[in-house]
Each structure stands twice: as structure tokens, then as C-alpha cells.
Structure 1
Amino acid sequence: MKPNVSVVMTVFNGESHIDTAIPSILNQTYSDFEFIIVNDGSTDSTFELLKEQEKKDRRIIVLDPGRLGFAKALNHGISKAKGKYIMRQDIDDISYPERFAKQVKHFEENPNVGVIGGYSILVDENRGERYNRMPPTSDNDIKRAMAKYIPFAHTIASFRKEAWDQVGGYPEAGNLVDLRFWLNIAKKDWAFHNIPSILGEHYVYGGSFWHKSFKYADRQKDLATVQKRVIKELGLPYWMYVYPIGRSIYRYMPKNIKKFTRRSVGGSRERDL
């Protein structure tokens, strides 16, 4: 019998985080899922540790296709998924026990919704911040927010496999594959929702593969480029171009000014913890 949900996680050299995400997935109150973990060419002991986890729980499926890169590895894992709902998870983050139950319930009650996220705790070691991130919850507000920032924590996002099929999977770009993916799904007229409940924790730190791979200035430049596409392709008001243009200034601001700007001009709803 096919599971209703497929959890898909990619890992590159994640031996130090094996005990972070995996227990939080296996301890979900919703149990009808398979857990696909793609070892993306790790050169440390990640693969061996993942195989040990696979032996402990029949829901875990470890794939070892070699080094593909983030987007290709995600697409490889999802192509093997049997569930109609795909739950994303990063190796160094945590999902709270009720996450799957809440997101599946929301999908089943809202057949027009293609992507569901939620509130999350963001721990940013680079900026010394810890706060509850509360992105917009309604479709219109989420899509407008895409012109300002990324309104889903990718690590706790979920989507219908049908939507993934329709857009041909994640775009195989070097950066911002999540925002590019959401844009493609939005153009297929799927609605977006965020559940107003804290569903997990996301950690930002300098030692992560993502932060080591992309320079901050390049990330801001790429984000501005994709935000311009969002405004154009979703037909958002022209005045919203002020947000991607402002990225060129934002990247040079002191940390405390960035926080103020993010929460005031950017409209990001956050509550310090």
C-alpha cells in the first residue's frame, strides 16, 4: 500500500547532524509516510550512518546516486516518492511532532492549495538572533511577499507531487532553487498557504554547506533577480520593484539596521525569543 506522504531529504557530508532531523521525522504523530534520504555524494561517514538508520526503521529509504547537487538530488528523491504529498526536511533542522498531521489535514481540506508552509523558529548564529518567523498565511499575501523575501521556510515546506510534476521538478539552478520552484508552481495557478502554527526550527550558521557555497553579496544579487521575475511573471504592482532594487543597499547595512529594515520596510513578521 502506498504511503500518503513522502519525506525527502538530501544530505552532503552531514555526519554531525544525523541525530538532528531524523528523530524529529520518525517521532511524528502522523505515521503514514516513507522517508527518502538522498546521500548526495558525501565524502565523510554520512552514508554509513544513514544505512544504520535505515536498518532501524522500515520507513527510511537511503538512495546513493553519487554527487548530483542540491536541486538534482531533490528531484532524484522525489522521482522515487510514492506519496501524493511531499514533505521537505533538511538534515540540520527540526520538525515538530504535529507538523505532518497539520499539513496533511490542510491539504485534504483545501484541494486548490499546492504548497503549505508554516511558522518556524529561526536561529541565526551569524547574526545572533533567535525569533519566531511568522510569514503571511493567505495565498495573495504570500505571493506578494515573494517580491520581498522567501515566504516559506523550505525545510518545513510541503507540496503536492502533482504540482512538482506539472513544473518539471525543481529548477536546476545554483541558488534559490526554492523561490524559483515556488514561482513556477504559482504560475500553474496553485494556491499557497502557511499554517499559523510553529512547525519546526531552522538553523542558520556559517559552517553550513549553503553558506559556504554562496557569498552573501551574490545571494543578495540572485535574490533581487528572482524577485524581479516574481513581480513580472505574477503580475504584481510595478511599485514593488522597489524591493529587489533595495537589495543592493540592504546587503551593506549593519546587522541591527537590517533587522529593523526587514521588520518595517520589508514587512517580515518576527517575534524575538
Structure 2
Amino acid sequence: MKPSLSILLPVYNAARYLPAALASLRAQTFTDYELIAVDDGSADRSLAILARAADADPRIRVISRPNTGIVGALNDGLEAARAPVVARMDADDIAIPDRLARQFAFLRLTPEFVCLGTAVHFMDARSALLKPCPRSADHDAIERALLLGDGGQLIHPSIMFRRDAVLQIGGYRLAAQWIEDLDLYLRLARVGRLTNLPAALLHYRIHEQSVNFTRNTGRHERKLRILAEAHAARGLPFDPAAIPPPAYKSAFSPDDLCDYAITSLGYGRRGRPWHYTWRALRAAPRARRPWRTLSYLLKHRLGLIRT
């Protein structure tokens, strides 16, 4: 009997985080799913972890293949999926227990929507929560931002989509490697509506070994080509000069660290405000903001400021 939902999980050298991701899926209140884990030529223990998980849970199917990158892994998993609805998940993230149930119920009741994301909480390499990340629910606002190059309008590992809609537009495209989410959403927005649930149903890991820090070569040029195509398909003019190249980073900036120090206060013991404050001070000891952040944390500790 076919499952109601397929979960698509690409895996590449994720042994450090994979057990927690798998545990969060086992803990889901929605259980009528298959998990398609695509090992993309991992050189660590990822495949062994997946094999043990599959032995223990018949819902898990493992595809092992040479490394091609995220697009090839996603398309292989999409081809293997048997359910009409597909949820994305990354091997280093953690799903809240009712994530699948809430997204599946929404899509079942709203056939005009083809793709559904959620708000998320950012977390770090040690799973400390850093910052809430709300997302817009308005399709038109989402599409406008996508046309400006903001693929983060839907957090890719949080999405759930209709498989036939993604197949209709040709799946993921190799020409969009490392910005495959932006490309997918722009094409999906032409065949249906996009939205986000306001609840934060995923803990989304951000760390300095992730793709956003390590896979930036040629990304801006690919983005401009994809945006030009998306504008042309809608009969809209496109000026590439209006999309300046971002300042790609190989590590968190001192401003990032100060930001996480303050926002992680809201998570109590689950955050690491002091850790990020000290990192900011070491990175920029003569800058004012790290010292202001330290002052803020001291006042918070003394009860002079409340989050």
C-alpha cells in the first residue's frame, strides 16, 4: 500500500547530525510516510547510519549513489517517491513533532497551493537555538521577493509540495545547483500558489560548514540567469544591475555573532548568548557593537533588562 507522504532527505557527510534528524522524523505525530534517504556519495558514516535506521524501520528506503551534488540527489529521490505529496528535510535539521501533520492537513484542505513552507528557528552546530525566522504567508509578496532573488522566502528543508506539480515543471534543474530552491519556487509559482505556515515547525541549522558558506562560486551568475528567465516567462522586464552580488561570507561576521547573542537570550538555556558575545569580542575587539552586546547581557543577567 502506498504511503500518503514521501519525505525526501538528501544526505552528504552528515554523520554528526543525521541521528538527530532521523529521531525527529521517528517522533512525528503523522506516521503514514515513507522516508527516502539519498546518500550522495558520503565519505563518513552517513550510509552506515542510514542502513541501521532502515533495518529498524521499514518506512525508510535508502538510495546510495556517487556524489553529484544536491540537485541530482533530490531528483533521484523525487523519482523514487511513491506518494502524491512530498516533504523536504535536510540531514542536519530537526523537525518539530507535529510538523508533517500540520503541513499535510493544510495541503489536503487547500488544493490551490502547490508548495508550503513554515517559519523556522535557526540553530547552531551544537543545536542551540539562535533566532526565530518568521516567513510570509502571502503568495504575491513571496513571488515579488523571489523575483528579486530571495530564495529564502520558503526555507527549503521546511517545504512540503505536490509531487505532480514539481514533475510538471521538470523537477530540480542542474543549471540551478546550489540555488535550486529559488529556481524551483519561481517555476512552481506559475502553476500554483505558495505560502508558509506561521508556526515554526523546523529547527534549521546554520553553521560555517554549510553550503551557504562553502558553495558560492558562480552562484550569483546562475541566479541572474534564472531571474532573467523567470521575468521573461512572466513578460516582465529584468535589469541584472538591480540585483547586486551579495557579500558572500566564509564565517559569521561580528555583527552576526552579536545578533545571535541577543536573540538567543529568548531561548533561555537552549541558547548560547555568552558564547556568541565572546566570539564577537575576539573577532572585533575594537568595535563598539560587541562591547555594547556584552553590556546588554550583563544588564540582562542583573535583571535590569528583560527579554
TM-score range, shorter chain: 0.7 to 0.9
**Is the 8 Å Cα contact of residues 54 and 61 (structure 1) preserved in structure 2?**
yes
Task: State how far apart, in whole Å, the 1-side matches of 2:104 and 2:17 are.
Answer: 26
**Is the 8 Å Cα contact of residues 87 and 160 (structure 2) preserved in structure 1?**
yes
| Aligned: 1:132 with 2:132 | yes
Cα deviation digits, residues 111-152 of structure 1 (max 9, x gap): 111000011112367xx9932111210211211121251211
Over 3 Å counting, the alpha-carbon distance change for 1:9 and 1:56 in structure 2 is same
In structure 1, the partner of 2:66 is: 66
Q: Which ranges of structure 1 fall in alignment gaps of 5 or more residues? A: 261-269
In structure 1, the partner of 2:46 is: 46
Cα deviation digits, residues 62-113 of structure 1 (max 9, x gap): 1113223211111101111111110000001111111111111110111111
Task: State how far apart, in whole Å, the 2-side matches of 1:45 and 1:174 are.
Answer: 25
* 1:52-131 equivalences in 2 (<5 Å): 52-123=52-123, 130-131=130-131
The alignment-based identity, stated in percent, is 25
**Is the 8 Å Cα contact of residues 19 and 49 (structure 2) preserved in structure 1?**
no
In structure 1, the partner of 2:304 is: none
In structure 1, the partner of 2:169 is: 167
Letter in 1 for 2:188: I
Task: Number of aligned residue pairs: give it.
Answer: 254
Q: 1:181 aligns with which of 171, 179, 184?
A: 184
Task: State how far apart, in whole Å, the 2-side matches of 1:160 and 1:145 are.
Answer: 22
Over 3 Å counting, the alpha-carbon distance change for 1:141 and 1:235 in structure 2 is farther
In structure 2, the partner of 1:265 is: none
Cα shift at 1:221: 4.9
SS in 1 for 2:62: strand
Cα shift at 1:30: 0.5
**Is the 8 Å Cα contact of residues 33 and 59 (structure 1) preserved in structure 2?**
yes
In structure 1, the partner of 2:285 is: none
SS in 2 for 1:102: helix
Q: 2:198 aligns with which of 193, 196, 199?
A: 196
**Is the 8 Å Cα contact of residues 175 and 222 (structure 1) preserved in structure 2?**
no
SS in 2 for 1:114: strand
Task: State how far apart, in whole Å, the 2-side matches of 1:114 and 1:255 are.
Answer: 39
Q: Which ranges of structure 2 fall in alignment gaps of 5 or more residues? A: 267-307
Task: State how far apart, in whole Å, the 1-side matches of 2:235 and 2:110 are.
Answer: 24
SS in 1 for 2:165: helix
Q: 2:245 aligns with which of 240, 244, 248?
A: 248
SS in 2 for 1:71: helix
SS in 2 for 1:76: helix
SS in 1 for 2:2: coil
Task: State how far apart, in whole Å, the 2-side matches of 1:87 and 1:249 are.
Answer: 29
Letter in 1 for 2:244: R
